[in-house]
Chains A and B, each alone.
Chain A
Amino acid sequence: MRYFRLFIAFLRIGIMNELAYRANFFVQLFESVLELGTALAGLAVVFSHTDTLGGWLPNEVLALVGVYFLVGGSIRLLIQPSMERLIESVREGTLDFTLVKPEDAQFLVSIQRVEIWKLTDIFLGLAVLAIALVRLGARVGAIQLMAFAGALLAGGVIVYSFWLILATLCFWFIRVENILVIFQSMYEAGRWPMSLYPSWLRFALTFLVPIAVATTVPAQALAGRLNWQTLAGMIGLAFIISAISRIFWRFGIRRYSGASA
């Protein structure tokens, strides 16, 4: 409960921060629409030359794009700006202020920045998702929706933990802010069905850089292509990677405060 109240406090700050730059909303809207347009155009080009892609129908891939924007927007709303701010604050020395506060540092750094206008990505994603679902017909039932929600949640945890691990690297490597660039292109892999990728790439995108799972598996759930093993595996992965990220974070803090490793 207390964590929720703290999150609201940071959310307020985030909203106020962004309201100070009202122009950002329109820029963000333009940006999001442009990105969505490119994704859809890419889809259109691909499907102008074929009817299925790795066994996926156009509307199933459209659903995937919707999930991609939904998850991507959520990352850009909270996770990414907070992690970027973390990396900055390590460099500036202002992380010390956070460490001196009587709350769990991982929690504080993870919610410290909310870029409220990224909600446009989330809404666009939901819109695309809705359209795709309508087109796919009434094949989506309660079970699919539950699996979808579960996969989405697990995916969110996986992505957050992965981002935290990357950001924690800033305790060792100074120029880690460039991570933004890789994440963008790595995340791109989640826009296409993972079944397309050769097995070694699928492995990498599931276990080494577990981002694509966050989009593909929920989309699979909606398309009715998900089997229980994959969902269970994903949830298990979520538990494991969140534990690893927590341990690594604490290790990083110890390193930062010069504790003997």
Chain B
Amino acid sequence: MSKIISIHSFRGGTGKSNTSANLSAIMAAQGLKVGVVDTDIQSPGIHVILGLNEEDMRHTLNDYLWGKCDIEEAAHDVTANIGEVSGQLLFVPSSIKPGEIARVLREGYDVGLLNDGFQSLIDALDLDVLIIDTHPGMNEETLLSIAISDALVIVMRPDQQDFQGTAVTVDVGRKLDVPDLLLLVNKAPQVYDLDDIKARVEGIYNSEVAAVLPHSDELMALASEGVFVVKFPDHEISQKYKKVAERLLRD
């Protein structure tokens, strides 16, 4: 049975797309057939990390929402961009054409179609895992993806603004009975004791912290040009991402 995992954060810039890309690459490397959907229609970005250029996007999520194609036609096989793996990584990008982003903002779209699209994608591509990379904050796609997910990963930074927003997201996740709710603390300053951060965050939200990832100059220097776990497989952060993936796939 396939699993739907939403990667979410209340605020932008927490490393949500990087988390989605790294977890999906790890799962594909484990032999799974993984789908990733970029539902951040307003500000798409994960396509850069997964190495899909604009000119190579045959169809996008926007095309599907406007009835121009089936959802599986918008899925691009980006497995080659994460090295030689036994699984498969299929990615549905959001359009990065300003006019098309504007159209969604202007006209809206049929939310039911987005929900149907997730189910169709799992069925048509026979996916083991579907990872939904969401828009930060609360909106229609975010709530929908949380409502239908088997697991929700809330990415946050150890920052006061993130702390309040994350509380809202945890509340929503609990109210919507997400079966598996995990927190991932990202970009923690190296001067902090990471175990202490983990204990504190778990205490505040009464939720499991899957990992505390330290700020990394290597990750910053990569500047989204590739998937970190592929470029730096032995790095501390990569090892932590692998543990998060294992935890998410555990029944």
Tell me if chain B binds chain A: no
B interface residues (Cβ-Cβ under 8 A, vs A) = none
